[in-house]
Structure 1
Amino acid sequence: MSDNTLAPASTSGTSTRRNGPRWRAATLIALTLVAGLGLPAAYGAAYADENTGTGTADARTDMRKTVDGLVADGKRPAALISTRERDGRTRTYTAGVGDLATGAKVPADGQVRIGSNTKTFTAVVVLQLVGEGKIDLDAPIETYLPNLLRGEGVDGRHITVRQLLQHTSGLPEYTQTVAENFTEVQHRYVEPRELLDIALKGKASFPPGAKWEYSNTNYIVAGLLVQKITGRPLAEEINKRVVERIGLRHTYFPQPGDMTIREKHPKGYFAPQPGAPLRDVTVQDPSWGWAAGAMISTNSDLNRFFTALLDGRLLRPAQLKEMRTTVPAEDPVPGSRYGLGLMSKPLSCGGVSWGHGGDIPGYETRGGVTESGRAVNVAVTVLPGDLAALTEVEKAVDGALCR
């Protein structure tokens, strides 16, 4: 690596294995804060005038209480929620402030950084290539990327494409090192191979296929696989094969050097340590997330994406079935299961929702689509600092899907 290589991770033994499909509360402990934000104690909710359906009065009232609750007592600067019914009726809700410095309103259905929801987009492209006969899910990654994965307990000859997408590869995580050096990478482009080199300084977590454990490194390799097979940049393939195909008007994969959010958006914040003032991190280079977490979208576009995916508009039936074939993934919600870049979570009203979720400094997003086609996505503008805070956002999703 160059002289700009990130410093090695601490060897203090901090676990990064407990928080499922997020950027890890333990990994980002220096970047997250919920209690004591020093924000105003209450905000008035704002409701979008872009709705295409009225819904019931009780449902609207419940959603207004939910979005207000997410920012009550200064817990978070802003919250945004978008709901979508099977017939396409949508409604958006916001609460809080979009800019702590100016007090500006939260833009209705504003763009946010969607973190690990990016994994689902990446997985869709890989599975499309499987359907085209260009990739075999059960072939070793060595078949396509020879000599790429070598390290302590790591051997690409024994890790399959399926295990990468399913998080059963045992590949070590790279994000703890990046998180501990976030100020160094906030405005710097990081090559995917640099991220992989960081990961491979660690040892394998377990033998391939032995268990499930979330690792962002899996999707860095998946992104490199897409580029090797197609001969094109990952961002270009996601745009052509997913974004343009289903008409996502506010979703994109930032190009190298693109550190801003293009359309209307709430600002994203984090505190460098508990109790410290929040810092605006809206402008950042998300390349350190790349295929695992770099994309930008809106709540309504994410609802459209996951609905289209589950309706079979992006994958052939055989590949969609593979994507929905899951293994237990109890974190962060008991009863959760993980497929190939797609997660199911049990609903309090019965059945499950399908989606992913994502965290990146400044933003947290959670959502899901039911088998009946109802969809919801929630975004807040500071990461959770503990399990209770994460659970509150998960409960908001559950409540909206079960109303």
Structure 2
Amino acid sequence: MRSRFVTCGLAVAVTALLAGATPALAQPAAPPVTQDAAVRQAMDRVLADGAVGVQVRTTRDGRATTATAGESVLGTSWPVPTAGLFRVGSVTKTFVATVLLQLVEEDRVDLDAPVARYLPGLLPDGDAITVRMLLQHTSGLFDYVKALPLDGAEFFDIRFRPYTPHELVSLATDRPLDFAPGTDWSYSNTNYIVAGVLIEKVTGRAWDTEIAERITRPLGMRETSAPRGSVFIPGLHARGYFPVDGRPVDVTELNPSWGGAAGEMISTTADLDLFLTALVDGRLLRPAQFAELTAARSFTDGYGLGALSRDTPCGKTVWGHSGGIAGYTTLAFTTLDGSRRMQASLTNGLGPDSEDVVYGIVDATICG
């Protein structure tokens, strides 16, 4: 789902250093910035950029640490819980793509088959759009999220409104395709709503049931779920906020059915780490399917099938997903060998607004 992201520099830190400057030869060498310090600096920048709170879990070479900053409730001194639950937004897509790739391995779904083979009549262009195009956002389907009132005070008109997958698909199919299927790339949540419907059609069970049976229960991810219409986060959590007329409004309770298979799930940093670890060590996908998940075409901006890549400043490439839904921003990334992993939840306030600041947490945790 969408996240709002504003550049935040290091002018204050630089000014402080220059204020007391003495000749270079008279100064001892500055100590290197440790990983913990780098992560803390990245977290502080996110708070300065408008987030209310942040929790970050980092695993480097077998050592896991969790850090938090900010407030769990705006205007209090209550700390962000280190094991708090949160809405993961579009990180849901990686779970959905994993299930579909398992169905590919079971010969129940063909990645290059048209969607109409499995869901006749659902999409006007279902004969031209393949399953692969759904997972890689190359279908051309209009993003239904753009048709929903998700900005400012208008969001409160739908905050508790339930949506069905077919309603969301209809919002998209009422509009023309953005481009001919397979000819371009554009991130569209509609693709994953259709993917969720496809999973149910093929298996006879809802997409979140398949995720539970195939992924979360076998891995012991006890805090991960899809709300199924519940407006509550079922456990200890920091509260999330939404900007309305320049002030943050608490939107922790909401009906996330408009996110569906594109962004409805709830989890924790520890659970997401279990998922990423199992994904890269081969417990969830065979090599051929994992290769599909991490294969980005030249025009897909580093996006594979339900996962995206990021080249960090230290030269390490990570794969995973980010996610945003009203009140929460999520990051979950790992190196392909699993040696460095990170998961983070940002509770939003008037920000964060800068993509560079948000992804700075990824860079600090992987490279620090």
Q: State TM-score, norm by structure 2.
A: 0.87
**SS at the partner of 1:110?**
coil
Aligned to 2:344: 378
Q: Distance in 1 between matches of 2:132 and 2:350?
A: 30
Q: Distance in 2 between matches of 1:174 and 1:301?
A: 29
Q: Distance in 2 between matches of 1:115 and 1:197?
A: 21
Aligned to 2:360: 395
Corresponding position: 1:266 with 2:241: no
**SS at the partner of 1:327?**
coil
Q: Distance in 2 between matches of 1:143 and 1:97?
A: 50
Aligned to 2:16: none
Aligned to 1:297: 267
- After TM superposition, the structure 1 = structure 2 runs for residues 212-291 of structure 1, keeping only pairs within 5 Å, are 212-256=185-229, 258-273=230-245, 275=246, 277-291=247-261
Q: Is the 8 A contact 1:33 1:384 kept in 2?
A: no
Deviations 1:279-310 (A, max 9, x none): 00000111100000000111222222122111
Which blocks of at least 5 consecutive residues in structure 2 are unaligned? 9-31
Where relative contact order (Cα < 8 A, 6+ residues apart) is larger, the structure is 2
Deviations 1:5-30 (A, max 9, x none): xxxxxxxxxxxxxxxxx5164xxxxx
Pairs aligned (count): 341
Could you tell me which of 28, 31, 41 is aligned with 1:65?
41
Aligned to 1:192: 165
Aligned to 1:142: 116
Q: Percent identity?
A: 43
Q: Between Structure 1 and Structure 2, which shows a larger proportion of helix residues? A: 2
Could you tell me which of 312, 325, 334 is aligned with 1:369?
334
Which blocks of at least 5 consecutive residues in structure 1 are unaligned? 1-21, 26-31, 36-55, 331-335
Offset of 1:101 from its aligned partner?
Answer: 5.0
Q: State TM-score, norm by structure 1.
A: 0.80
Corresponding position: 1:81 with 2:59: no
**SS at the partner of 2:219?**
coil
Could you tell me which of 298, 305, 309 is aligned with 2:279?
309
Q: Which has the larger radius of gyration?
A: 2
After superposition, the Cα gap between the structure-2 partners of 1:371 and 1:234, relative to the gap in structure 1 and judged at 3 Å, is closer
Deviations 1:242-291 (A, max 9, x none): 111222122111123x1111111100001124x2x210000011110000
After superposition, the Cα gap between the structure-2 partners of 1:386 and 1:93, relative to the gap in structure 1 and judged at 3 Å, is closer
After superposition, the Cα gap between the structure-2 partners of 1:254 and 1:328, relative to the gap in structure 1 and judged at 3 Å, is farther
Offset of 1:102 from its aligned partner?
Answer: 4.3
Q: RMSD of the TM alignment (CA)?
A: 2.2
Q: Is the 8 A contact 1:34 1:383 kept in 2?
A: no
AA partner of residue 299 (structure 1): T
Corresponding position: 1:23 with 2:15: no
AA partner of residue 341 (structure 1): G
Q: Distance in 2 between matches of 1:107 and 1:329?
A: 40
